[in-house]
A and B are shown apart, each in its own frame.
Chain A
Amino acid sequence: MRSHFFRAARPSCAFSTAALSLTAFLVSGFALRGASKASSWQPIAAAELAETAPKLEPEAPAEALFVNIEIDDNAFPFERTTTEYIRYKIFRPDKVEHITRISGIDNGSSDNKIELRARLTLPDGTSREFGQESIKERTLARQGKESGLLAWLSSGGPEVKEKFLAISGVEAGAVLEYRIIRRLANPPAISAFVVQREGIPLRQASYLCRISRDDDQWGNRTFALNLGGGKLTEDKKKRTITVTAENLPSIIREPFVGPATDYALTIVNSYERYERLLLPRSGKIPMPGTVDPKSGPWAVHSTLINWIERDRGYVTPRVKQLAAEITMDLADPEARARAIHTRVQNLYQQHRRRSGPRPAERVQPQSLDDIMDVEKKPEVIRFSQEFVWLAVALYRTAGFECHTVMLPDRTLCRFNPQFVSPAFLANFAVTLKIGDQWRFSSPHTVNRLPFGLLPWEQEAQAGLLALEKKQQFIKVPATRAEQSVISSTGKFSVDAEGVLTGECTRTFTGQAAVALRGELRRLQKTRREEVAATKFGLDAKVVDVKMTKIDALDDAEKPLLLSAKIRWPGFATRTKNRLLLHPEVFRAEAGSPFTATERRHPIHFPYPWQEHDRLQIQVPAEFEPESPSAPAPNPGEILNHEVKLSYDRANHTLHGERSFTSHLLDVAPDRYPVLKTWYDRVARADQHEIVFLRKAETPAAEAAK
């Protein structure tokens, strides 16, 4: 097979200062210096030694006085040297064991090396260095899966070694410095550095990267996300990029947070080749050639994926036959699209769950026919994207306008189209036009998604269409709240002792069902029932929940349904003359998720959703409601909550209907008080009690006497 080059127009080295990130690896926060200067430590000022209390955050057990990260990419893509130099001021030695022991992993290859050094300076100025002689090396793993010649030659396969340095003699007031040099062969093209750390504030941070000398082949883009008051600068002459920042807070844990890039300084170092070597599979799709820069910075990436999609997804006669089979007898476009989605999804799940031995020799697919032959050809390597190409081919064959769409990931960072790097659009799905709307299909995800839904983290931003020599983004909306619904129904009775018994169901649709369906699907029956029982939100320590049904585990198009019988001793509170009960059985103990008065990080919800509860509770005939009331509603367009209560005297039955809607995705920290107050009101309304008085004791009965 011939190889071809795909040439992109050369972007200039570009930098940006907004927000975004990638996961890649997290540098624990150390500093650096050129490898050749590894033994030189910077002098410590007397004032630093004399400090006795943290400056940035009271009670911090230590502060990082500085963190310097220096990347030497002169030899990229063959080698990268990362030097980290960090200086800590220690205030509570017993609270910072995680920084007085450090370790680095050698991946076993002789090209990947780590050097650790440390210096401890006590408050009296005496210092001690810890070098190679203090480092303990231990083999963490010998991987033995190379069961062939390689295993014989290497006597046990690749090794993973840990180099471990424990600093001895740490005292309060000491200054502890680390210098860590990592030499990495064949470094990844995209790396991310999160500078801040949990619990340790940082006074000064600096990042310096000497970018690759190979600017004929490689372009570098560096992005600083959440830079705050910091600075990003480029020195074109020296070919360096520098990021500096001061007084960065420690990272803290709070509920409902977005990606770390929402609140931590993150630097993304991204390289991209100007030329790509493309290996055709079908041999029928011409090479795209050079992409004109005027097409837009993303046109290179969209062109590349467009070519791959058309080449890998080249329509064969079997694909045409399958498309016809699937859509036969279906006239409605939505039904046709849904049927194709479901078929490809089933095929992908069949591939994932195929049991039996994997053939020792694996082969690349030759066409989509190989992708479809899951059972017959277990030796074929099928990456999940192959099912995207298959879906595109089927949709197109069935007459739909459709494209591969590249999507960002909200759990990693917020997408900014100005940050041009394929790392930020790493997820693929299919988008197709039905009527005048772009609809989505993601048949290749581990957890089954219904037609129209994307994984929630890939929604609510933008998507790049895989078009040839063209850059076109489309808006990818979040799944509407009414599509992700948790509905509960229940028919209960409570006895005079306050014990609640009855049957209930809970259904989940849309995003609310996706992860749960996957979680339950993976479990054995007994464990599945135990886990499903917890999904009613009741405290298993008090409430006995016996599952009676779990339905639609394998059908993403139907609501996931859980049914159970419950028994809840002590549900209603008995007093001398009264019975007090919470009509909202499933919510009465939930409380607000926001209990803290203060908030530092932005609030982030994964997706909009609704809750609908419709419950009835029969109470003992000898009790009558006493001045019954319903909680005040909490109406709104973005957040809405309402509880309606009524009492059927003839049947001694209390009816309750609760509706909750949240269209929220992101809330700034300064709006937190409003959000908290709203949730406090909701919690209180959900805990609303109805008092029932023993009939003989009602004032009316007394008066009648």
Chain B
Amino acid sequence: MPPCLRWLVALLALATVAVAKPPPDWLKPLLAEDIAALGRGKIAVRLLDSSDVRHLPDNRVRRVNRGAIKILTDTGRQRAACSYQFNADIEKILAARAWIVSADGKKADEFSIRAFTDTAMKIGNVFWPQQRVLGYRATTEIPVGSVFAWEFEVESQTGISDLGWIFPTDLSTLLSVLEVAPSPGGRLVWHSAHAQIPAPVPGPAPGSLRWVNRRYPSSVGGERPSGFLLASPTLSVRNIPADNSAIQTWPDMAGLAATIIEPRIPASAAVKAKAEALVADKTARWERIRALSEFVQKEISYLAVVVDPDYLAGYRPHAAGEVLQNRHGDCKDKATLLVSMLRALGDEGHVVLVFSGNPKAVEPNWPSARFNHAIAAIRADDAVPTGWPVVDAGPLGRLVLFDPTDSHTPLGILSAGDQGGYGLVASPRSTGLITLPIADPETNRIETNINASLRADGTLSAAIEEISRGSIAITLHAARESLRAERFTPVLEARLRDTVSFLENLQWQDNWDAPDARWTLTFDFTAKRYARRTGGSLMLISPQVVFSKVRLSPWKTKQDGVVWSGPNLQRKTVRLMLPAGATIEELPENWSFSVPTATCRLQYQRKGNVVLYDYEMTQRGGFLDQPAYEALRDFMQKAQDAERRPVLIRAPEADSAAPTK
């Protein structure tokens, strides 16, 4: 290499490695703050979390995000990392920098974007190639006492989504700031349902607003109970341009969604032919619709492939004909194909936007594009059975909701994840949100009938029929279907372990009735030493025969939120025949207990040498705050303790257990 080139290479190399400099100016005042109280007993303190957002003409927005974390302990070094998640199709990273600032705050090693890692976002095992994560980790190199700081500068299309901001609560925070400036001539509107969001103050730019939160503690820690819906201190801010073109009402959003989705619905010849073929031997309307729904559910596998590189791409389905040909698609593709097939047969249907998994996500008083899922709506008629998920969609009439992405939940039941929130029909005739129905406990129920007999040696023979309906049936059947018969047997054996120590001759069969969403499991077995001899002639018998431990985790989280609990009903009837000559020493007393969200009743009866046991538990479901959840948890525990009470009998045979000294 010629000497001049060597010099050039050396200079370039020097220019790109981390170089010690003073810390950035925006960080210096924060480094001088006293954080002793905030950092007491903590692994790290967030000095800053800020975003400066400027709406520009031509539907563009520029954003500068800054952050800084002071590392206080060795474990806290794991927090020396930053990332920015973005859509590579519509967002451009203009700059990214990170710094490791020395403990005395005087020197900083700076790292440029070339030192950052750019990865496709991965959720579970699925990569989402459009969603990128740009990040830098200094976890192995940062000394304790140092500050890790970063800055991202991004430009993007405005899009239809709001600017969302969460005041972070994972670490105690010194300063969190959001500042937003509207586009020229525009204005800002904002929304938050959370009490911890401070009121904004005017920013320096015309029409701009600034939200500031100072010196607040972290609220993480403690396990969240199952079904917990986090109520983050979230703020949504929207720019209303000078031409007033932003979404301001739900009909605005419904109209926009319709303009994106409707062009993809018209049926190709292949779609029409397939739809006709599927219903060829069906005459009743709902039988025909069921044939179409099952086809889209089962034969179109789930795969999200986003082609268009614009901010509406996430709402734009593939054309129905394309989905049919590919035999795969995502939620909006599947809903589009089903609606297309319906319309091809002269029926009516619409695509409906929902937020799956969080009924609290869509807030009726804040029209927005906050949806993450698409389902289908089909015109209801008088033949719709009672209990189906029907909604009144105003000018669009009464509609039956159906989720073709959920391959287990048949027509007539709304997927559990879709229940309880709000949806929006993607139609220009839509006048507002629809309330997504919640199934009642009678719809989601499990009924167990047990016929058992006990021999004098303690061996039990039992024949059991379990009939489940609604969401319970769907869940149980889905679990069964995911296993082959030979692999379901061990699952059933494990389930019986709580009451049966020595299981023999287990036989089972099941039946799934899709139109009624009913799953029947019948099984019988023999259980040696089912009755426990305790010494002498006393025997303990668990009258419930089959017992499932249902225990709720304690509410340990310090975060705000509620638990979403689905409604259900459980009934069990046991007929237990005792051995000849046995006498009942003690029969559990009848028991009942109620809390506002649930009721349980246990009844015991003796008829000759037969013990009859009836059990019924109803959970009404809904959103539970901490007191309501803890009350339900306590209720469940009491009910299970009551159900565990044995029947005590005196058996004629002698005891085989060794006496205690």
Interfacial residues, chain A to chain B (CB-CB below 8 A): 57-60, 93-95, 97, 100-101, 136, 138-149, 151-152, 155-157, 162, 166, 168-171, 252, 353, 355-358, 360, 498, 524, 526, 530, 539-542, 544, 569-570, 573-578, 580, 591-592, 595-598, 625-632, 645-647, 680, 683-684, 687-691
Contacts and interface: CB of A to CB of B under 8 A. Distances in A.
A143 B137 CA distance: 12
What 9 A-B pairs are tightest by C-beta distance, nearest first?
A627-B536, A629-B535, A627-B535, A596-B490, A168-B326, A59-B484, A138-B129, A541-B551, A629-B657
Contacts of A151: 16, 114-115
Contacts of A576: 586, 588-589
A688 to B, nearest CB: 8
Given A157-B114, A592-B501, 18 more contacts: A58-B485, A139-B129, A146-B114, A147-B112, A166-B303, A169-B327, A357-B100, A569-B641, A573-B645, A575-B648, A580-B540, A595-B496, A597-B506, A628-B534, A628-B535, A629-B657, A630-B659, A690-B534
9 contacts: A60-B484, A94-B301, A140-B120, A142-B119, A166-B303, A171-B299, A357-B100, A357-B143, A627-B534
A683 B111 CA distance: 59
A543 B482 CA distance: 33
A57 B506 contact: no
A93 B648 CA distance: 53
A156 B13 CA distance: 14
B498 interface: yes
A168 B327 contact: yes
Interface in B447-505: 482, 484-487, 489-490, 493-494, 496-498, 501-503
B582 interface: no
A357 B141 contact: yes
B113 interface: yes
B305 A136 contact: yes
A573 B644 contact: yes
B144 interface: yes
B589 A144 contact: no
A531 to B, nearest CB: 11
Contact of A629 (B12, B116, B120, B660): B660
Nearest to A541: B551
A100 B301 contact: yes
B117 A145 contact: yes
A596 B489 contact: yes
Given A169-B327, A626-B534, A689-B540, A142 B75 contact: no
Nearest to B324: A169
Contact of B498 (A60, A140, A155, A591): A591
A169 B326 contact: yes
Contacts of B659: 628-630
A147 B18 contact: yes
Number of chain B interface residues as a range:
35 or more
A595 B292 CA distance: 42
Contact of A143 (B13, B117, B490, B644): B117
B118 interface: yes
Contact of A58 (B113, B140, B484): B484
Contact of A147 (B114, B144, B638): B114
A627 B537 CA distance: 9
B609 interface: no
Nearest to A152: B16
B555 to A, nearest CB: 11
Contact of A59 (B485, B506, B532, B588): B485
A682 B558 CA distance: 41
Given A140-B127, A596-B490, A357 B142 contact: yes
A539 B118 CA distance: 42
A570 B532 contact: no
Contacts, number: 223
B312 interface: no
Contacts of A592: 497, 501
A147 B660 contact: no
A530 B484 CA distance: 37
Interface string B131-145: 000001000111110
Contact of B77 (A168, A355, A573): A355
Contacts of B9: 149
A78 B142 CA distance: 39
B487 A252 contact: yes
Interface in B496-518: 496-498, 501-503, 506
A596 B658 contact: no
Summarize B's interface: helix, strand, loop or mixed.
mixed
Contact of B657 (A145, A573, A630): A630
B302 A646 contact: no
Given A152-B12, A156-B114, A355 B74 contact: yes
A357 B554 CA distance: 42
A592 B143 CA distance: 48
Contacts of B572: none
B125 to A, nearest CB: 9
Interface in B42-98: 43, 74-75, 77
Interface in B634-653: 637-638, 640-641, 644-646, 648
Given A145-B117, A539-B551, A541-B554, A647 B299 contact: no
A257 to B, nearest CB: 14
A235 to B, nearest CB: 40
Contacts of B503: 597
B40 interface: no
Contacts of B586: 575-578
B75 A524 contact: yes
A535 to B, nearest CB: 16
B380 interface: no
Interface in B338-393: none
A498 B305 CA distance: 58
Contacts of A142: 117-119
Nearest to B490: A596
B661 A144 contact: no
Task: Kindly name the residue among B74, B655, B660 whose own CB sees the greatest number of chain A CB atoms within 10 A.
Answer: B660
Nearest to B556: A530
Given A138-B129, A355-B77, A596-B489, A540 B298 contact: no
B552 interface: yes
B553 interface: yes
A358 B327 CA distance: 52
B17 A360 contact: yes
B484 A94 contact: no
A58 B486 contact: yes
B221 interface: yes
Given A580-B540, A632-B657, A689-B534, A101 B115 contact: no
B325 interface: yes
A1 B326 CA distance: 63
A577 B646 CA distance: 12
B210 interface: no
A170 B115 contact: no
User: Which of B100, B328, B407, B536 gathers the greatest number of chain A CB atoms within 10 Å?
Assistant: B328
Contact of A138 (B115, B127, B648): B127
B538 interface: yes
B533 interface: yes
B529 interface: yes
Contacts of A626: 534-536, 538
A569 B303 contact: no
A358 B18 CA distance: 13
Contacts of A149: 9, 12-13, 16
A303 B496 CA distance: 57
B490 A152 contact: no
B141 to A, nearest CB: 5
A597 B486 CA distance: 11
Given A577-B586, A689-B532, A147 B485 contact: no
A157 B100 CA distance: 21
Interface centre among A162, A575, A645 (most CB of B within 10 A): A575
Contacts of A168: 325-328
Contacts of B299: 93-94, 171
A54 to B, nearest CB: 10
